[in-house]
Structure 1
């Protein structure tokens, strides 16, 4: 299976340049449901060209934090920046326009769409043609559609799917390959930041290795990756920086080796931290 040279996840590893800018930032981010504080004053910096993981025991607030970071949950307090852009309150659509894309813990595909059609959904912000031009199929609109279809096919190869999958119903693929379709759809918007909520859940060892290589390749192409993952071996091999959450709060942050050796982190996973 051959992919474009600039997109091939199996290419020789390239050490990323030292990140100096923040792709995604949160300050004082809090989410309160009734009397329950699910996320409490979270500060977070996701550097450009980096893989940053959020870990923590079940119920730590990880997915709620990612939902608030991506506009799917309105924070009760706090502020989020994408690059240098910020708003008092972001919608998911506004965040997508600003350069953030995500996948979800539970696969979300459109029932009857083919793999190609599903991936093309991610190109919505890239079309410059007006609605009348699209409806009347102007030369510019046709050229844009052809360009985006070519890019979608390249991304389908990039995530590791064969050309034969392009016209298959996305929902007919195996669980692991549906995950790949979701990642390709997210990449169609050319995001500066990609949020992956447990992208390796339910995969076997070889599938985890393949998708881990894909995540590294995404980073090498210049996209910052924020990853939620439970597999500590994956965290050790992928994440350059790790934030540990416990009961809605940031417990500690540092390299994977540092945080996984921290007694407080070990106690949190064993239920010993109050």
Structure 2
């Protein structure tokens, strides 16, 4: 532990590509989908993420990268309300001191997980519809009484789920299949469809390409581009640097829970501090 601390000091003290935080009054919420200021996550005496400032612009793919254990998934969990954090998070113009996973989802943030989380006994159609629960109008009593408004909302949700099945590249007959019966790559597509049915402003993807072969990565990369073209901002955790170079508009690097560098993919990935963090250059 002492050796790691000693090696961290010269890295964090070097001049990096870090940008100054954007002051709140100057932020154009039409141009910014997701923003965090001084995001900090503590687990007892361990600070997993420290004072992270992050701006994800609308209509962009923003990659969050770093070595294993850098705090990437913890940061995404904090941004999406799955772990308690300090600091401020905005989705568009909306912010709260007490975000939960449900409230931030209603504000326009959706996500997928590093480990696929599907309901194995549900059909693909049912699984995707789970993501639309916040879109139903009329409330609980309307749903129980099967009012016209509830029926109309349900019909619209089913139609949208079927449209998304096609959009993510699944065949129409997949709607009636059990989600767990699909291939790994197709399960990833179901996860993305389930997230998209909530009509998010920003989509967080935690290692969506992990475990895929070259062809599957290329196909899912194109799907991510298509999602972005539809107006959904993407915050992406990914380890494949070739994917980062081809897909990301902007890159933020975490190292031991702190921002090490940010900028364009080419600038960041060629930066001496980033190479040192990944490759251990200059470390004993």
TM norm structure 2 = 0.88
Instruction: Point out where structure 1 has 5 or more consecutive residues left out of the alignment.
Output: 1-18
Structural mapping, 1:119-138, within 5 Å: 119-138=128-147
Secondary structure of the 2:223 match is helix
Q: Give the distance between the partners of 2:282 and 2:220, measured in 1 at CA.
A: 33
- 1:129 Cα deviation from its structure 2 partner: 2.0
- 1:273 Cα deviation from its structure 2 partner: 7.4
Structural mapping, 1:1-274, within 5 Å: 21-75=31-85, 77-272=86-281
Aligned residues: 255
Alpha-carbon RMSD across the aligned residues, in angstroms, is 1.3
Structure whose alpha-carbon radius of gyration is higher: 2
Asked if the contact 1:252–1:259 (Cα under 8 Å) also holds between the matched residues in 2, the reply is: yes
- 1:272 Cα deviation from its structure 2 partner: 4.3
Q: Give the distance between the partners of 2:188 and 2:63, measured in 1 at CA.
A: 18
- The superposition leaves residues 69-121 of structure 1 with CA deviations (integer Å, 9 ceiling, x where unpaired) of 1100111x211111111111200000001000000000000121000000001
- Corresponding residue of 1:14: none
Q: Give the distance between the partners of 1:72 and 1:272, measured in 2 at CA.
A: 35
Instruction: Point out where structure 2 has 5 or more consecutive residues left out of the alignment.
Output: 1-28
Q: Give the distance between the partners of 2:255 and 2:138, measured in 1 at CA.
A: 47
Secondary structure of the 1:212 match is helix
TM norm structure 1 = 0.91
Secondary structure of the 2:39 match is strand
Asked if the contact 2:63–2:252 (Cα under 8 Å) also holds between the matched residues in 1, the reply is: yes
Asked if the contact 1:264–1:273 (Cα under 8 Å) also holds between the matched residues in 2, the reply is: no
When residues 273 and 114 of structure 1 are mapped into structure 2, their CA distance, relative to the original with a 3 A threshold, is farther
- 1:20 Cα deviation from its structure 2 partner: 6.5
